[in-house]
Amino acid sequence: MTAAAVATSPTDWLDTILKDYAPDIDPKLVKTLSAIATACEGISRHLWTADGEAKAGSSNAYGDDQLDIDLYADHIIFEEMKASKCVAVAASEEKPQELEMGGEGYSVAFDPLDGSSIIDANFAVGSIFGVWHGRGLQGRTGREQAASCMAVYGPRTHLALALAGSVTRGAPVAMDLLLHPEKRLWTVSKAKLTIAPAGKVFAPGNLRATSDHPQYKALFDHWVGQRYTLRYTGGMVPDVYYSLVKGKGVFANVPSPSAPAKLRLLYECAPIALLVEAAGGRSVVAPAPGAAAAAAAAGGGGAAAPQSVLDVVADGMDVRLGVCYGGVDEVATFNRFMFAS
Ligand code: F6P
């Protein structure tokens, strides 16, 4: 399919697109992804007119204040998951429990609206989805995902979508779709997303951690000393999407004792890791300060060795971690600094 190809009707548009990448794709996976895209279209429409500051007066299970639009996005996604009849269970950052969706085929974890703290400033925000084969999310790794995607609500609405190798029966792939709101359909705007091994663009999240994480501070100084270009909005979706679309860069969110990890594995980190790795990049779990030295002092072991985010087991619904995503060489540089003992 060429980058400009348009599917013929709202019901078959995604099937037409995805068959080019995975000829024998499971129709239930297409339906699940189609339900996700439909929900994202609805959220995108709502964002044009919604009050970005209206507080719902509640907080989620993690104590984060909820906005009306967070709850709206959460609701519309759960409704689409149920309507698809292809989703067994789903859980969201707002409702972090495996909820029965009444269907069979796939399980979905999602962050309905990432970037609530920047939405009133009218920055780009997004939704993140991980789709796992079968029933259940707990005890799974990101590598077991069938697909993942993130919608970016900016001046335009895009959907970056990855299919795992278990679906393509070959290498994983990542592509980018563009929403045409007037026609209520999406077209392929980039047939293949790829991240080059090196590219001097950085997005240093949780930067306050540099005050008590010497390795992160040294890495930050390296990026500045090497004249990297800063591209950081404070929204993980647009910040990682930048690397996917520009084809280069590195994103990090490193925890420290005074600035602990807040990114969630199931709803944010694992789905984005699949997208980045499907685009030829790497993901890695960010270590605590001095982790390598501590592991060496304790007689070695794997604890401080670099680990792909895709290999972290979700042994609960609230696993949190620090991450780095980016080109192969950029993540190797991250590892060199962060795992130094
Ligand atoms: O989900 C948390 C989040 O909003 C991410 O989207 C973003 O990358 C991060 O927090 C920003 O954290 P900080 O402002 O500490 O860099």
Contacts of residue 147, defined as CB under 8 A and 6 or more positions apart, other chains included, come to 29, 32, 33, 131, 161, 162, 163, 164, 167, 274
User: What letter does residue 23 receive in the DSSP assignment?
Assistant: T
CB burial of residue 125 (10 Å; 0-12, 13-18, 19+): buried
Residue-level pLDDT at 64 = 66
Mutate which of 232, 236, 272 for ligand 1? The one with the most ligand atoms within 8 Å of its CB, which is 236
Give 135 Cα–ligand 1 centroid separation in angstroms: 30
- 176-184 long-range contacts (CB < 8 A, ≥24 apart) are 176/244, 176/245, 177/17, 177/37, 179/40, 179/41, 179/44, 181/41, 181/44, 181/45, 181/157, 184/10, 184/41
Q: Let me know how long the chain is.
A: 341
Same domain, yes or no: 134 and 235 = no
Pocket test for ligand 1, best of 125, 263, 265 (most atoms within 8 A of CB): 263
Residue 20 identity (one-letter amino acid): D
Question: Are 281 and 172 contained in the same domain?
Answer: no
- Residues 132, 208, single domain; the answer is no
pLDDT value for 65: 64
Q: Report the nearest-CA residue for atom 2 of ligand 1.
A: 263
Gap from CA of 138 to ligand 1 centroid (Å): 24
Distance of alpha carbon 203 from alpha carbon 225, whole angstroms: 15
- For residue 243, give the CATH number of its domain: 3.40.190.80
- Rounded distance from Cα 206 to ligand 1 centre (Å): 7
Cβ atoms within 10 A of the Cβ of 6, count? 14
pLDDT in tens, 110-127: 999 999 889 999 999 999
Residues 236 and 185 in one domain: no
Let me know whether 24 and 61 are in one domain.
yes
**pLDDT tens track for 95-107:** 999 999 999 999 9
Residue 296 has what pLDDT?
67
What's residue 302's pLDDT? 44
| Beta-carbon-side half-sphere exposure of residue 201 (alpha carbons within 13 Å) | 20
* The model's pTM: 0.93
Dihedral sign (CA 31, 124, 318, 289): positive
Residue where a domain stops, chosen among 171, 190, 209: 190
Instruction: Give the torsion sign (CA, 284, 286, 290, 294).
Output: negative
Atom of ligand 1 nearest to the CA of 262: 2
153 and 229 co-located in one domain: no
Closest CA to 68 of 53, 79, 49, 80: 53
Clarify whether residues 211 and 263 are in a common domain: yes
**Whether residue 105 is found in the same domain as residue 186:** yes
Mutate which of 60, 111, 114, 120 to test ligand 1's pocket (most atoms within 8 Å of Cβ)?
114
Q: Give nearest CA residue, ligand 1 atom 13.
A: 206
Whether residue 176 lies inside any domain: the answer is yes
Q: In the chain, how many domains are there?
A: 2
In a domain, 2, yes or no: no
In a domain, 3, yes or no: no
End position of a domain, from candidates 190, 214, 229:
190
Residues of the chain short of pLDDT 70, as ranges, are 1-11, 52-54, 56-57, 60-67, 296, 298-303, 341
Atom number of ligand 1 nearest to Cα 239 = 8
Which ligand 1 atom sits closest to the C-alpha of 264? 1
**Is residue 316 a part of any domain in this protein?**
yes
Q: What is the pLDDT of residue 17?
A: 94
To the nearest 10 degrees (0 to 180), the angle between helices 236-246 and 270-278 is: 10
Residues lining ligand 1, Cβ inside 6 A: 114-115, 117, 205-206, 234-236, 239, 253, 262-263, 268
Q: Using the 3D structure, point to which of 190, 212, 230 is the last residue of a domain.
A: 190
pLDDT of residue 66: 66
Q: Could you tell me the residue range of the domain that residue 219 belongs to?
A: 201-338
Say if CB 94 and CB 70 are below 8 A apart.
yes
Q: Which residue has the least CA distance to atom 14 on ligand 1?
A: 234
Q: Which pairing describes strands 87-92 and 250-253: parallel, antiparallel, or unpaired?
A: unpaired
* 294 and 318 assigned to the same domain: yes
Q: Are 249 and 199 in contact (CB under 8 A)?
A: yes
